[in-house]
Chain A
Amino acid sequence: MATIELVIHIEAANGEAVWWAESPEVPGFSAAAPTLAELRTRATAALAELRDDPVEIVERLVGEERGDVRVAETELVIA
């Protein structure tokens, strides 16, 4: 089983938060979803299919370092 790093981003688009991910080990790969859980499921399935083998995901969130925690934020003002 290959270990693949999943680089995770969050941003706002059309009034909703969107999670998306890329992987330095798989050029051209990206996946997106409205929740992190869905993103994890989609990315894991897609990477396994691309690799033709189950993969183990190591996550790296892109964000600001705040002590021992890395944080990424987005804000949606709807009305």
Chain B
Amino acid sequence: MAELTAGIVCEFAQVRERLLFVSSGAITRVVHETLPARLGVMLAMVVEVPHDERDRAHDLRVAVYRNDTAQRTFEWVAGFQVTGYAAQPGESLYLPFVAAEMGTAPIPVYGGYDIRMSVDGNDGPLLTVYVVDKPPG
């Protein structure tokens, strides 16, 4: 079964030539002076695909939930399929993905926002980002 082996909330990320570039990762706080706002951060992920599942399509999901009400405010769903990766016999594939669109998740109130991710219904790490007001001074 495919697995999410890493999830990193970051300022910016991109995939180039199979490699994941992450800038300013492990974000847990986002400052917004006014609300409503957009989350404004990205999610970088690494998915492990077992050798025997490389020909199948896979279902990768990222959802943002308010952690005070459990209300889902945003979801990004992607399908992916390996087409030509030159793997060694039995080698699992480690595929990088970026959910840049997560930055558009609506932020109606200050507080914690849980980021849940899964591949083929198999949950990955649960991350929480706190959206806070600008500190006084």
Q: Which residues of A contact B (CB under 8 A)?
A: 8, 10, 12, 17, 19, 35-37, 58-61, 63, 65-79
Contacts and interface: CB of A to CB of B under 8 A. Distances in A.
22 contacts: A12-B77, A35-B59, A35-B121, A36-B59, A37-B120, A37-B121, A59-B56, A63-B81, A67-B17, A68-B83, A68-B85, A69-B81, A69-B82, A69-B83, A70-B81, A72-B79, A74-B77, A76-B75, A77-B74, A77-B106, A78-B72, A79-B72
B18 interface: yes
A37 B2 CA distance: 13
Contact of B57 (A61, A65, A77, A79): A61
Interface of B: 15, 17-18, 55-59, 61, 71-85, 95, 97, 101, 104-106, 108, 120-121
Prevailing SS type, chain A contact patch: strand
Given A59-B57, A78-B71, 4 more contacts: A19-B59, A67-B17, A71-B79, A73-B79
A8 B57 CA distance: 8
A69 B76 contact: no
Contacts of B101: 73, 75
Contacts of A72: 78-80
Contacts of B71: 78-79
B30 to A, nearest CB: 17
Given A67-B17, A68-B85, A77-B106, A10 B75 contact: no
Nearest to A67: B18
A68 B84 contact: yes
B83 A76 contact: no
Contact of A17 (B75, B97, B105): B75
Contacts of B85: 68-69
